[in-house]
């Protein structure tokens, strides 16, 4: 899936910015689609399999932001109608089974990267996986990748595993965004990489494209101002998301391809900027060419300078004045 992407996959992370209101969630899906997002992502959980009983107040809060029974499947249908991919982050083992029938991709949250049972259960679905790495050290990420590979040995070869560079601070200070880590993850683990953003604004997402992010995730809300829940402040609103999509598509054009290649716009100027072999002095016919007889001058006419070794020792058929090019036709 991800290995075949032709452009950066932009995910509007709705999460729980709907705060338990299914109508708002559906509206956010439509707004994300209209802004140009490729996918929308939610969080799926049950308080009793998510938060410790020692934190009853937190359980109450998260329960208030939970979607009603059956809502995720209905929202998946809304997303399909809007033309965007729906997926979710399961925050408990039962949530994997609940999402699997209609969720084409699974996201592992940063906080779950050390939870072997969840990694194994999600990998066993055979679905593509996006794994966030916020707060994780090198060895913890490596262990998670090993667990996933044990359950699904072909997941990297099929391009169905993406490691997301992420900083688990809300919001993340720009000097700690550490976008170069996107490249580290790719080189260290041999996987596709992306970026899950918690900075204010959208500039980090734009810059992440230059570091090779194939997936970008940005929190998304209908309104950032006058909201109590912290995620709204670091989210993109519809105008922000539309601007982000436009900026990312432009950044993709700047990025180009990894392989080194001469660009079409360069081809016409190459002869003018490269050097060809020329006579360093007046040379008579019959001259056996030595290095001091030759010099490199622009433009590239005749024999390129890098081929000097094959010219040395050859005999001139015709005389050549100083500063004029030497071609194969001039050689015996």
Last residue of a domain, one of 255, 285, 318: 255
- The answer on 170 and 300 residing in a single domain is no
Answer yes or no: is 293 within a domain: yes
Rounded CA separation 186/297 (Å): 43
Instruction: Tally the domains of the chain.
Output: 2
Are 82 and 221 in the same domain?
yes
Same-domain check for residues 45 and 145: yes
Tokens coding 254: 């700047």
N-to-C CA span, the chain = 59
* pLDDT score of 242 more than 70: yes
Which secondary-structure segment (H or E) carries 252? helix 238-255
Are residues 74 and 204 part of one domain? yes
**Minimum mean pLDDT range among 12-26, 76-90, 147-161, 221-235:** 221-235
Domain end call among 209, 225, 255: 255
Q: Are 116 and 147 in contact (CB under 8 A)?
A: yes
> Looking at the structure, do residues 158 and 236 belong to the same domain, yes or no?
yes
pLDDT of 18:
81
189 in any annotated domain: yes
Domain containing 304 — which CATH number? 3.90.1210.10
pLDDT at 20: 77
- Output the CA torsion sign for 303, 304, 305, 309: negative
* Residue 12 CB contacts under 8 Å (≥ 6 apart), including other chains: 28, 32, 35, 37, 39, 40, 41, 84, 218, 220, 236, 241
Helices (H), 256-314: 270-273, 308-311
Domain around 103: 2-255
Structure confidence by residue, pLDDT tens digits, 298-318: 999 999 999 999 999 999 999
Residue that has been written with the tokens 């081809």 in this structure = 267
Banded pLDDT at 90 (limits 50, 70, 90): very high
Global pTM value: 0.86
- Identify whether the C-beta of residue 257 lies closer than 8 Å to the C-beta of residue 62: no
pLDDT digits 0-9 by tens, 269-284: 999 999 999 999 999 9
Residues 104 and 137 in one domain: yes
Q: Single out the residue in 230, 255, 280 at which a domain terminates.
A: 255
At 229, the pLDDT band (50, 70, 90 cuts) reads: low
73: domain CATH number is: 3.20.20.70
The pLDDT assigned to 66 comes to 81
How confident is the prediction for the chain on average, in pLDDT? Answer: 93
Beta bridge partners of 107: 130
């Amino acid at each position: 899936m991800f290995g075949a992407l032709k452009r950066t996959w932009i995910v509007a992370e709705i999460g729980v910015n709907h705060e338990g209101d299914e109508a708002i969630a559906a509206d956010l899906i439509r707004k994300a689609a209209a802004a140009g997002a490729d996918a929308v992502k939610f969080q799926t959980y049950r308080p009793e399999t998510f938060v410790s009983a020692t934190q009853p107040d937190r359980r109450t809060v998260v329960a208030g932001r939970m979607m009603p029974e059956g809502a995720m499947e209905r929202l998946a249908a809304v997303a399909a109608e809007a033309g965007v991919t729906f997926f979710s982050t399961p925050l408990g083992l039962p949530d994997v089974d609940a999402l699997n029938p209609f969720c084409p991709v699974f996201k592992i949250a940063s906080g779950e990267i050390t939870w072997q049972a969840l990694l194994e259960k999600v990998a066993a679905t055979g679905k593509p996986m996006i794994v966030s790495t916020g707060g994780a050290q090198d060895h913890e990420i490596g262990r998670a990748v090993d667990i996933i590979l044990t359950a699904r040995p072909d997941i990297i070869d099929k391009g169905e595993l993406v490691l997301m560079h992420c900083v688990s601070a809300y919001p993340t200070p720009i000097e700690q965004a550490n976008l170069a880590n996107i490249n580290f993850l790719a080189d260290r683990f041999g996987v596709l990489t992306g970026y899950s953003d918690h900075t204010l604004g959208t500039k980090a997402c734009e810059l992440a494209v230059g570091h090779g992010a194939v997936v970008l995730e940005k929190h998304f809300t209908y309104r950032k101002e006058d909201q109590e829940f912290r995620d709204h402040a670091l989210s993109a609103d519809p105008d922000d998301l539309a601007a982000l999509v436009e900026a990312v598509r432009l950044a993709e054009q700047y990025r180009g391809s990894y392989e080194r290649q001469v660009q079409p716009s360069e081809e016409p100027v190459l002869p003018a900027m490269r050097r060809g072999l020329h006579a360093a002095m007046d040379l008579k016919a019959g001259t056996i060419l030595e290095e001091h007889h030759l010099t490199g001058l622009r433009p590239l006419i005749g024999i390129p300078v890098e081929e000097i070794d094959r010219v040395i020792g050859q005999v001139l058929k015709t005389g050549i004045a100083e500063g004029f090019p030497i071609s194969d036709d001039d050689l015996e």
